[in-house]
A and B are shown apart, each in its own frame.
Chain A
Amino acid sequence: MSEIAPLKVRPQPKTEVKKHIIVVRVQHNFGVLTRITSLFAGRGYNIESLTVGKTHEPNVARITIVVEGDERIIEQIIKQLRKLIETLRVRDITEVPHIERELVLIKVYAGEDKARDEIMRLISIFRAKVVDVSPDTYTIEVTGDSDKIDAFIELLRPFGLKDIARTGTLALTRESAKNLVQE
């Protein structure tokens, strides 16, 4: 017997994949960071960047996570983060006005005079600064949002990059925009 019922399909909500900034406040206990990272690894979510640091409150740490995913995945990530016992608050601030910063140290080859001049020009445009000099390299410090950092790195690439250290994104919501958001 094989009477085939007409195929009926559940309508799935359409969602787009994009980058989200999620801020997590946790009890600063032993092993709490591992809980967060192993949650991401175990459930197959990719962390683009993760930064962690103490806050002004005792025993509270703040973690900023940048992660890419569609709405369903991001919702699930937030719920799973909230489910952790040591989590105090989870917030997706992507859509909230916020300040986003990353600090980067870049070691770039700068042996020739021409290269040195050009690099110095870029440094001044990007408001970066040289923090260490050797006969054939500059070490540069720059802060900004990820777009600015990426652009800066791309401009330096032709000179030859020796090493890069990025902190990952930090973010705080804008206090000045608070009233605006509530309206």
Chain B
Amino acid sequence: MPKKRGADIVIDVLLEENVEIVFGLPGGAIMEVYDALYKAPLKNILARHEQAAAHMADGYARSTGKVGVVMATSGPGATNLVTGLATAYMDSVPMVAITGQVPTHYIGTDAFQEADVVGITRPITKHNFLVTDIKDLALILREAFYLARTGRPGPVLVDIPKDITQKEYDYKMPTEKDVIDALPGYRPHYEGNPVQIKKAAELIRKAKRPVLYVGGGAVISGAAEQVRKLAELTRIPVTTTNMAKGVFDETHPLALHMLGMHGTYYANMAVYNSDLLIAVGARFDDRVTGKIDEFAPEAKIIHIDIDPASISKNIHVDVPIVGDVKIVLEKLLKELEKKPVEWVKARESWLKQIEKWKEKHPLTYQKTDKIIKPQYVIEEIYNVTKGEAIISAGVGQHQMWAAMFYKYKYPRQFLNSGGLGTMGYGFPAAVGAKFGNPDKTVFAIEGDGSFVMNMQDVITAVQYRIPVKIAIINNEFLGMVRQWQQFFYDSRYSSVCLAVHPDFVKLAESMGAVGLRATKPDEVKPVLEKAMEINDRPVIMDFVVDREENVLPMVPAGKSYREMILTPKQKGEAETMYLVG
């Protein structure tokens, strides 16, 4: 092998890992790598801010299941990645971040654009590396990809000092075996313990009021088919977390939709009254459970997860099963088929009860033709895209409405920052998703607060002719904070008014995108239809909506499902609904 420059080794590994696209922004310490990218046979997307680049890589990864790659320079370039990495880490998104670092002999001298990036990103990455010797470069990069995509996926950062990218080395591409040998402490457990699986099957056979509680792990593992089979075979209703939207078709009769803080009445009722909860790739987040000792108080819990640390972390589990969701569900199905039960009969009264709850409080809102209701915009987006679009959301009220009022039917269809709750995520993630899914319509449903946090990157979408549709649910508020202030702080609206904002139509035009606006309900559909016709650039739609609409139902933070707020009585007052068994 001829000697190769470190930067070229980086590109070699990217190609070896079948990377087709890289998002990022160059700078001093990573110039050598960008020089090598110049002639490399992969797409190199220039973002306008590293945070946006990281979210693009994240959106690409979430929507395709492939590893997203982001690059940034040392110091500020790398620190700008921090929010993007933390977002990906919380939601187990496979990503590799490659950052330039000051030359080895400058490390520790407070050099220009020096930051201890490995130190800064340690708690927000699955693992990270500082390359100190060019001999290790290829192996470390391959380890990074391997770690990012296997086990419980996550972002991995590789910090490469500039001199290492410049040095030459006669290297050999490390094999997967080399990688595994270099990681003797990393052996994810995929199979699931057969004794535990047997126990789980037995509990399912005995259960009278079971609920499947499915989380993002089912999406990552590609287990949509197995979840559906299990639900249909055993007639168990399915509630999905925000992270698992679409893994179970939301139009399916057994679908309970989302649970938790903004879960549906019937999902929360079902969980509260269940006698068996089967958690599948979910992690009992506080936004799901509310007050933990009143969460599913009578239920035995089966918990299937690839990460042992997720099991019995927040709640004591009766049957823990460590393994890949898909593999474990396959085995569980086989186990159940060995000794079938008359499932239809066994579930009759439970499913009837759930139907009653569904009828009593369906997911709805007050419809009007005077003012645009945010939920109405989401419903119309659903109609105009025939339920087929990839939806990416920011964080806040609009995110919850996007989760509630669009009916998802396939996995990886709904992208949002579920764990970290990162405002500014939605739009750049949509750009990444569109790069990964050029044949799909991709909508970014954004809040007026969320969108402005990364709106600079509309320019990127214009430059690469990425026709994402950006629907701004514009209520001129940091709406979710305002809602909490209304409910819990006597309507003292502290620092939430966003009435001063750019003219989003003009903003779009100034950047070379298309700007549209709807201020009345009957304008919503025409605006969306027009947006659907544009296929060569991004469209920004400014939907001026009811300013003080609330996201309901709601279980206040730290409260039990028993104290679910269903409808507000009047301004400033909320009616608390107590669940009845």
Could you tell me which A residues sit within 8 Å of B by CB distance?
A: 1-10, 12-13, 26-27, 30-31, 34-35, 38-39, 42, 72, 75-76, 79-80, 82-89
| Residue-wise interface mask of B (295-314) relative to A, using a CB-CB cutoff of 8 A (1 in contact, 0 not) | 11110000000011101110
- Report the separation of the CA atoms of residues A128 and B132 in the bound assembly, to the nearest whole angstrom: 45
Q: A27-B185, A76-B309 are in contact. List 4 more A-B contacts (CB 8 A).
A: A9-B297, A10-B316, A30-B130, A42-B123
19 interchain pairs, CB-CB under 8 A? A5-B580, A6-B581, A8-B298, A9-B293, A9-B297, A10-B315, A13-B316, A27-B184, A30-B130, A30-B132, A31-B118, A34-B122, A76-B309, A79-B313, A80-B309, A83-B307, A83-B309, A85-B126, A85-B127
Cβ A5 vs Cβ B295 within 8 A? no
- Size of interface on B: residues with Cβ below 8 Å to A: 37
Cβ B123 vs Cβ A3 within 8 A? no
Task: Identify which of B25-33, B202-210, B571-579 touches chain A.
Answer: B571-579
Q: Does B498 contact A (CB under 8 A)?
A: no
Cβ A10 vs Cβ B562 within 8 A? no
Give chain B interface residues in 307-341, CB to chain A under 8 Å.
307-309, 311-313, 315-316
Q: Given that A9-B293, A31-B118, A85-B183 are known contacts, is A76 also in contact with B578, CB under 8 Å in the complex?
A: no
- Report the separation of the CA atoms of residues A13 and B317 in the bound assembly, to the nearest whole angstrom: 11
Interface of chain B: mostly helix, strand, loop or mixed:
loop
Q: Provide the residues of chain A in CB contact with B311, threshold 8 Å.
A: 79
Cβ A79 vs Cβ B562 within 8 A? no
Q: Does B147 contact A (CB under 8 A)?
A: yes
Q: Given that A2-B577, A10-B315, A42-B123 are known contacts, is A26 also in contact with B185, CB under 8 Å in the complex?
A: yes
- Report the separation of the CA atoms of residues A12 and B292 in the bound assembly, to the nearest whole angstrom: 10
Closest to B309 in A: A79
Closest to A31 in B: B118
Q: Provide the residues of chain A in CB contact with B127, threshold 8 Å.
A: 85
Closest to A39 in B: B123
Q: Provide the residues of chain A in CB contact with B298, threshold 8 Å.
A: 8
- Report the separation of the CA atoms of residues A26 and B576 in the bound assembly, to the nearest whole angstrom: 52
Cβ A88 vs Cβ B185 within 8 A? yes
Q: Given that A10-B294, A10-B295 are known contacts, is A3 also in contact with B130, CB under 8 Å in the complex?
A: no
Closest to B127 in A: A85
Q: Provide the residues of chain A in CB contact with B581, threshold 8 Å.
A: 5-6
| Residue-wise interface mask of B (203-245) relative to A, using a CB-CB cutoff of 8 A (1 in contact, 0 not) | 0000000000000000000000000000000000000000000
Cβ A2 vs Cβ B308 within 8 A? no
Q: Provide the residues of chain A in CB contact with B307, threshold 8 Å.
A: 83
- Report the separation of the CA atoms of residues A172 and B182 in the bound assembly, to the nearest whole angstrom: 27
Q: In angstroms, how far is the closest chain B Cβ from the Cβ of A13?
A: 6
Cβ A1 vs Cβ B577 within 8 A? yes
| Residue-wise interface mask of B (501-544) relative to A, using a CB-CB cutoff of 8 A (1 in contact, 0 not) | 00000000000000000000000000000000000000000000
Cβ A8 vs Cβ B308 within 8 A? no
Q: In angstroms, how far is the closest chain A Cβ from the Cβ of B255?
A: 24
Cβ B185 vs Cβ A5 within 8 A? no
Q: In angstroms, how far is the closest chain B Cβ from the Cβ of A8?
A: 4
Q: In angstroms, how far is the closest chain A Cβ from the Cβ of B134?
A: 16
Q: Does B119 contact A (CB under 8 A)?
A: yes
Q: Given that A1-B577, A3-B580 are known contacts, is A85 also in contact with B185, CB under 8 Å in the complex?
A: yes
- Report the separation of the CA atoms of residues A12 and B295 in the bound assembly, to the nearest whole angstrom: 12
Give chain B interface residues in 83-107, CB to chain A under 8 Å.
none
Cβ A10 vs Cβ B296 within 8 A? yes
Closest to A35 in B: B122
- Report the separation of the CA atoms of residues A76 and B312 in the bound assembly, to the nearest whole angstrom: 8
Q: Provide the residues of chain A in CB contact with B365, threshold 8 Å.
A: none
- Report the separation of the CA atoms of residues A2 and B126 in the bound assembly, to the nearest whole angstrom: 46
- Report the separation of the CA atoms of residues A133 and B557 in the bound assembly, to the nearest whole angstrom: 62
Q: In angstroms, how far is the closest chain A Cβ from the Cβ of B312?
A: 7
- Report the separation of the CA atoms of residues A86 and B184 in the bound assembly, to the nearest whole angstrom: 8
Q: In angstroms, how far is the closest chain A Cβ from the Cβ of B188?
A: 10
- Report the separation of the CA atoms of residues A76 and B272 in the bound assembly, to the nearest whole angstrom: 26
- Report the separation of the CA atoms of residues A34 and B309 in the bound assembly, to the nearest whole angstrom: 20
Cβ B185 vs Cβ A86 within 8 A? yes
- Report the separation of the CA atoms of residues A1 and B580 in the bound assembly, to the nearest whole angstrom: 11
Cβ B147 vs Cβ A85 within 8 A? yes
- Report the separation of the CA atoms of residues A13 and B123 in the bound assembly, to the nearest whole angstrom: 30
Q: Does B112 contact A (CB under 8 A)?
A: no
Q: Does B186 contact A (CB under 8 A)?
A: yes
Q: Provide the residues of chain B in CB contact with A80, threshold 8 Å.
A: 309
Cβ A87 vs Cβ B185 within 8 A? yes
